[in-house]
């Protein structure tokens, strides 16, 4: 530990995970002023400002390696204690399992992986939803121990495994098909028909347009950053959009939506990035995630 105080590291982790000195104090059963003193002491020991004092509190660049260290130590310590005490050694508290997952995986296959873990009652899941950019940031900062992401390059300090691809189909309501695509998927129709995007970083629809037309098309857009609202907007005829096949199936079967270009799909490969750490929880989670992904992804 090279002189670093483990209570101070735990306090750093609590301040960032809970977002404020007050909330960290509640979690650790100490006063906010004790939290503040520990953070100051740790900052003096390291010689760097570690916490950005704002709402919510965040780790500085210098604070991130320490935050990751704190998370890794907490996990290893807890597992060593549980091993030392044996199965009848009493309740060591719940192990926090922090994972960031892209929105479409979270809305479809990922919860089943959590349910498949052995002895889930001893775990406390802290799931975050995000896109791949932010995911790498959270991994680097140690705020999460693993991520489901489209980023294939291993994040610093992490191992990466391919999970398979999520397949997207171009869906539209029958009314939208009649209104904008009466003459088929012509380039002018694709430039005029509104497209539903998840958010400003969502490039799946534009990738589909490029493969279809061979060039960049710039149609009118609606931004709808909620998985259920995204498919509802398409069902209601506001525009067309790329929907994961797991979500599309119901709307296609019921006829509420049609596949704009059957056979023309976009596959987004997904990866499991996780801390390089010999932890029982992380190993079990990796096994469960890979198993469920193998059953549901391409």
Closest distance to a copy of itself from the beta carbon of 238 (Å) = 6
Size of the site for a copy of itself (CB under 8 A): 38
Give which of 20, 166, 6 is closest to 76, Cα–Cα.
6
Binding status of residue 24 toward a copy of itself by CB under 8 A: no
The stretches of 49-186 forming alpha helices (DSSP H) are 63-85, 103-107, 110-115, 132-140, 174-180
Between 19 and 32, name the residue whose CB sits nearer to a copy of itself. Answer: 19
Between 238 and 277, name the residue whose CB sits nearer to a copy of itself. Answer: 238
Q: What are 57's two structure tokens? A: 């509190």
Binding status of residue 92 toward a copy of itself by CB under 8 A: no
Binding status of residue 150 toward a copy of itself by CB under 8 A: no
Candidate ranges 15-23, 28-36, 44-52, 249-257; the one touching a copy of itself (CB under 8 A) = 15-23
Candidate ranges 4-12, 16-24, 60-68, 157-165; the one touching a copy of itself (CB under 8 A) = 16-24
Binding status of residue 136 toward a copy of itself by CB under 8 A: no
Candidate residues 36, 37, 60, 129; the one interacting with a copy of itself per rule CB under 8 A: 129
| CA distances to 36, 79, 117, 139, 282 from 114, in Å | 35, 19, 6, 19, 12
Residue written as token pair 């404020």: 20
Between 35 and 43, name the residue whose CB sits nearer to a copy of itself. Answer: 35
Binding status of residue 107 toward a copy of itself by CB under 8 A: yes
> What gap in Å lies between CA 130 and CA 125, rounded to an integer?
16
Closest distance to a copy of itself from the beta carbon of 11 (Å) = 17
Q: Prior bond to 56 cis, omega within 30?
A: yes
Give which of 34, 4, 33, 35 is closest to 18, Cα–Cα.
35
| Residues between 239 and 298 with contacts to a copy of itself, criterion CB under 8 A | none
Is residue 133 within 8 A of residue 154, CB to CB? The reply is no
> What gap in Å lies between CA 3 and CA 158, rounded to an integer?
25
Candidate residues 12, 50, 106, 288; the one interacting with a copy of itself per rule CB under 8 A: 106
| Residues between 181 and 240 with contacts to a copy of itself, criterion CB under 8 A | 194, 200, 220-229, 232-233, 236-238
What track of x and - describes contact with a copy of itself for positions 32 through 71 (by CB under 8 A)? Answer: ----------------------------------------
Cα of 105 vs its chain's centroid, Å? 8
Burial class (CB within 10 angstroms; exposed 0-12, middle 13-18, buried 19+) of 143: buried
Closest distance to a copy of itself from the beta carbon of 127 (Å) = 5
Strands 241-244 and 158-172 come out as antiparallel
Is residue 151 within 8 A of residue 132, CB to CB? The reply is yes
Binding status of residue 103 toward a copy of itself by CB under 8 A: yes
Question: Which spans of this chain sit near a copy of itself (rule: CB under 8 A)?
Answer: 18-19, 23, 94, 103, 106-108, 110-112, 114-115, 120-121, 124-129, 194, 200, 220-229, 232-233, 236-238
């Amino acid at each position: 530990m090279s002189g670093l105080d483990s209570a101070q590291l735990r306090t750093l982790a609590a301040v960032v995970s809970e977002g404020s000195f007050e909330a960290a104090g509640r979690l650790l059963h100490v006063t906010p002023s004790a939290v503040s003193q520990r953070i100051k002491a740790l900052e003096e020991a390291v010689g760097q400002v570690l916490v950005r004092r704002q709402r919510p509190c965040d780790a500085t660049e210098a604070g991130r390696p320490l935050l990751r260290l704190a998370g890794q130590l907490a996990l290893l310590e807890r597992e060593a204690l549980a091993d030392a005490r044996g199965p009848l050694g009493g309740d060591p508290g719940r192990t926090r399992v922090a994972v960031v997952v892209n929105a479409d995986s979270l809305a479809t296959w990922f919860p089943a992986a959590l349910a498949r873990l052995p002895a889930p009652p001893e775990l406390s899941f802290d799931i975050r939803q995000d896109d791949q950019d932010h995911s790498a940031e959270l991994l680097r900062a140690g705020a999460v121990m693993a991520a489901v992401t489209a980023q294939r390059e291993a994040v610093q300090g992490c191992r990466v495994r391919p999970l398979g691809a999520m397949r997207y189909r171009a869906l539209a309501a029958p009314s939208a098909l009649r209104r904008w695509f009466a003459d088929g998927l012509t380039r002018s129709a694709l430039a005029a028909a509104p497209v539903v995007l998840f958010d400003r970083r969502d490039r799946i629809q534009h990738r589909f347009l490029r493969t279809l037309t061979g060039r960049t098309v710039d149609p009118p857009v609606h931004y709808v950053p909620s998985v259920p609202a995204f498919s509802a907007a398409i069902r209601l005829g506001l525009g067309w959009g790329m929907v994961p096949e797991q979500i599309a199936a119901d709307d296609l079967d019921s006829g509420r939506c049609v596949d704009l270009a059957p056979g023309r799909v976009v596959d987004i490969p997904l990866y499991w990035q996780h801390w390089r750490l010999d932890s029982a929880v992380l190993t079990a989670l990796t096994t469960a995630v890979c198993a469920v992904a193998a059953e549901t992804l391409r």
